[in-house]
A and B are shown apart, each in its own frame.
Chain A
């Protein structure tokens, strides 16, 4: 007890052991991979069908076809039209959730165990026998164009997309949004979708992940029943160029008249997912801008009150995704906020982090590990990353030891190698009348001004 009678801050008790769920891997005769993690907690099972058909596989000029194909899968099969398919899934208490990222397309359903076999049969029907009716493909294309239109008025998504364009060389797939642009999406049609499906969807490029209240034996049996006689072509792996557009710093202002805030993205081409520096990089990023108590957030939010929040991240992809600092700041402090971001980036490279900073980052990443995998969906996503990036089967068993092994010297080394101030591209979605002159005076690099479609206007 202290002066006010309050009990002292408690120390932690002994920690309990945690293992990432055991999982089994096997391959059906037709080449389809199966990953099963039995987790008996609540009566649900998540099924995730992972297909090597991400945006990185888009055909040049047809960027967005991977996404459109994924969305069109459940719009009609040999047996049912799209409305019926939706109804058949939803009567099982699940909605088919389809997503496409750079490296893969994932189809997810979560169902109670009694409905698992029926859900898997339906999932197989969608993956194996899509018809891609012209009317529905055209409708989904128009819906995607509506998203792109709305994005022009939405500063966060606009800043992300523009950053890709200014960071990556024009011949890199990463220069354009993963769902394509208005020009490329407009060029898509039913045939482009059917062609993409034929080239990328096959048992050999598909992994079925099942997590939850199901035994490995039962999972194997129903997977074999639903997918065992599926056949398809061999699917080649696609390599993506991750070349940068510029080697010197530049500032890109995307005009949004009268914006009360500037959306900022500051970064450059980062590091591929399977880089040997992965663990020191995630620790370094946690200290720089990955946590609430990171340097960038405490500076921009808590010391200067420029923003509601400021964070940094490495976007992990098979090839090198971007490293970015992202925040939204009051328009009249845009240049000052950028100055502080630059300062924190330089400081990260100048001196070793303190013991306190290092231990905060490593003990957070180590300690939060079990909390990341509370749900069947989260475990399925984690297993999907093992498959998609070709990580070792014991990756999650070694994860915490790998985090704890990172030293302050490692952090300094990776900051100096993987964060390069002279190459930073700065994107500001904001009011050029307010931000342009101060940005020029701050001399971060040449200042270019664009409209919301990315056309140079100054």
Chain B
């Protein structure tokens, strides 16, 4: 499977990727801005994400919330999301509405500020505070999102602080911040525009030129502090988190090679050997055979700078102590580190990863997003077509070497969630009731 991929760059620096597929009359438009929570200044945690909300509040020729309405009226789907190092905005529309999607993204890239008002900022600030309550504060284990990066990245490292932001910092955000952030980061030379699906490439180029050509280039992004980190933590950093949860849960993170590097693929396969689906080691051993865990999985953050994280996420079975959970997960990790992995385990992992990848590529929106990602991180969207081969090239020896080097006790950071006292009593009572003893 090779996707057709074409690219060009406008004089203002906007990088454009195109990938045609005419099997259905729909087209995806996707914009990545190379800015995320990493770029926030001190005292403004959560601002990159709050700013993402403001991009749906209109621009010079688009009313508040009209972006949503116009795309949905056109029969399209849309959203945006904020991550540590990027923010994306995307629409999938019927192919005869490509011009509308491109025009809407251009109007807010070029002319956002005339539509910004204090009232809109105040409303979105409250909406985001509710998003924080919903996804972090009122959700079991919801704080892991900010606690794990805080533990895994040193203070002042761009990935250390909270992406959703503190209530205090959200309150402090001003219209001046909006104007400054926009001028600094939301410029064509700091963005990638991808178009995937059913479109005429000549027409698409013409529209991009017409809508984006006159948007002025930026004056350059301020440099981030150094992202460089040693390959290992140098210790086992532990934090125990009492929370309103019923069952203990362990998040165990390892510093791992950055996304896109050769060593990354071995780390990613190692994560799949450990925790992808029910045939993985952690599931087989801790859930199926020994019945210590109720759920087990592993994943990578896919960070391309500084250091990536490989994270194991395991929830205890009722009646299993947090300490036992941590000890037994560590024992499985140690076994893998000492004994290495087998060819069969690597084959299983790569086969699953490959099917997932092809399945995801059926969606024009997914294709466009991955094109933007490879263009933003590495300047080359064609890397998308190499992904399956890079996974296929991973050998058991590569995975074993990664495990030996990176999974040791000198490279661990763990969050151990434990039920708060009153919840613990209830959990214990319930677990007795459930087992009928």
Q: How far is the CA of A360 from the CA of B65 in the complex (A)?
A: 13
Shortest A148–chain B CB gap in Å is 8
Assuming A13-B96, A139-B288, is B137 touching A260 (CB within 8 A)?
yes
A375 at the interface (CB under 8 A from B): yes
* A374 x B130 contact (CB < 8 A): no
* B352 x A374 contact (CB < 8 A): no
Shortest A377–chain B CB gap in Å is 7
SS class, residues of chain B in contact with chain A: helix
**Cβ 8 A contact of A145, one of B96, B318, B351:** B318
With most chain B CB atoms within 10 A of its CB, the pick from A18, A41, A360, A368 is: A368
A399 at the interface (CB under 8 A from B): no
Shortest A115–chain B CB gap in Å is 9
With most chain B CB atoms within 10 A of its CB, the pick from A7, A89, A92 is: A7
| Per-residue contact bits, chain B 232-253, to A (CB 8 Å; 1 contact, 0 not) | 0000000000001111000000
What residues of chain B lie closer than 8 Å to A261, measured between beta carbons? 130, 133-134, 137-138
Stretch from B220-228, B257-265, B405-413, B425-433 that touches the partner: B425-433
Shortest A95–chain B CB gap in Å is 4
B361 at the interface (CB under 8 A from A): yes
| Per-residue contact bits, chain B 103-134, to A (CB 8 Å; 1 contact, 0 not) | 10001001100000000001110111111011
Q: How far is the CA of A147 from the CA of B77 in the complex (A)?
A: 32
- Which B residue sits closest to A109, measured CB to CB? B355
What residues of chain B lie closer than 8 Å to A12, measured between beta carbons? 74, 94, 96-97, 99-100
**Cβ 8 A contact of A112, one of B69, B317, B355:** B355
What residues of chain A lie closer than 8 Å to B435, measured between beta carbons? 142
* B77 x A363 contact (CB < 8 A): no
Shortest B163–chain A CB gap in Å is 15
* A154 x B358 contact (CB < 8 A): no
Q: How large is the interface on A (under 10, 10 to 19, 20 to 34, 35 or more residues)?
A: 35 or more
Assuming A328-B138, A366-B75, A370-B25, is B103 touching A7 (CB within 8 A)?
yes
What residues of chain B lie closer than 8 Å to A44, measured between beta carbons? 355, 358-359, 362
Shortest A406–chain B CB gap in Å is 16
Assuming A10-B99, A110-B359, A260-B137, is B61 touching A149 (CB within 8 A)?
no
Shortest A63–chain B CB gap in Å is 16
* A149 x B431 contact (CB < 8 A): yes
What residues of chain A lie closer than 8 Å to B317, measured between beta carbons? 142-143, 146
* A112 x B318 contact (CB < 8 A): no
Q: In chain A between 155 and 214, which residues have their CB closer than 8 angstroms to a CB of chain B? A: 155, 182, 186
- Which A residue sits closest to B25, measured CB to CB? A16
| Per-residue contact bits, chain B 321-355, to A (CB 8 Å; 1 contact, 0 not) | 00000000000000000000000100110011011
Shortest B309–chain A CB gap in Å is 24
Q: How far is the CA of A292 from the CA of B364 in the complex (A)?
A: 22
- Which A residue sits closest to B127, measured CB to CB? A305
* B277 x A90 contact (CB < 8 A): yes
A405 at the interface (CB under 8 A from B): no
Q: How far is the CA of A10 from the CA of B78 in the complex (A)?
A: 18
| Per-residue contact bits, chain A 65-108, to B (CB 8 Å; 1 contact, 0 not) | 00000000000000000110011011111110000000000000
A4 at the interface (CB under 8 A from B): yes
B218 at the interface (CB under 8 A from A): no
Q: How far is the CA of A69 from the CA of B362 in the complex (A)?
A: 32
* B75 x A367 contact (CB < 8 A): yes
* B246 x A93 contact (CB < 8 A): no
- Which B residue sits closest to A377, measured CB to CB? B359
What residues of chain B lie closer than 8 Å to A9, measured between beta carbons? 61, 100, 103
* A186 x B436 contact (CB < 8 A): yes
A276 at the interface (CB under 8 A from B): no
Q: How far is the CA of A139 from the CA of B348 in the complex (A)?
A: 24
* A367 x B103 contact (CB < 8 A): no
Q: In chain A between 1 and 41, which residues have their CB closer than 8 angstroms to a CB of chain B? A: 2, 4-18, 41
Assuming A145-B318, A292-B68, is B351 touching A155 (CB within 8 A)?
no
With most chain B CB atoms within 10 A of its CB, the pick from A6, A41, A43, A375 is: A6
Q: In chain A between 344 and 387, which residues have their CB closer than 8 angstroms to a CB of chain B? A: 359-360, 363-364, 366-371, 373-377
* A186 x B138 contact (CB < 8 A): no
- Which A residue sits closest to B97, measured CB to CB? A12
A243 at the interface (CB under 8 A from B): no
- Which A residue sits closest to B68, measured CB to CB? A292
A49 at the interface (CB under 8 A from B): no
Q: How far is the CA of A6 from the CA of B61 in the complex (A)?
A: 9
* B68 x A6 contact (CB < 8 A): no
B26 at the interface (CB under 8 A from A): yes
13 chain-A/chain-B pairs, Cβ below 8 angstroms = A6-B111, A15-B94, A87-B348, A95-B277, A260-B137, A261-B134, A301-B127, A306-B130, A308-B134, A330-B129, A364-B73, A367-B76, A371-B77
Q: Identify the 3 closest CB pairs spanning chains A and B, nearest first.
A: A367-B75, A93-B351, A305-B126
* Besides the known contacts A182-B430, A305-B124, A367-B76, 5 further A-B residue pairs in the complex with CB atoms under 8 A apart: A149-B430, A308-B130, A328-B130, A367-B75, A371-B94
Interface residues of A (CB under 8 A from B): 2, 4-18, 41-44, 82-83, 86-87, 89-95, 110-112, 136, 139, 142-143, 145-147, 149-150, 152-155, 182, 186, 259-261, 263, 291-293, 298, 301-302, 305-308, 328-330, 359-360, 363-364, 366-371, 373-377
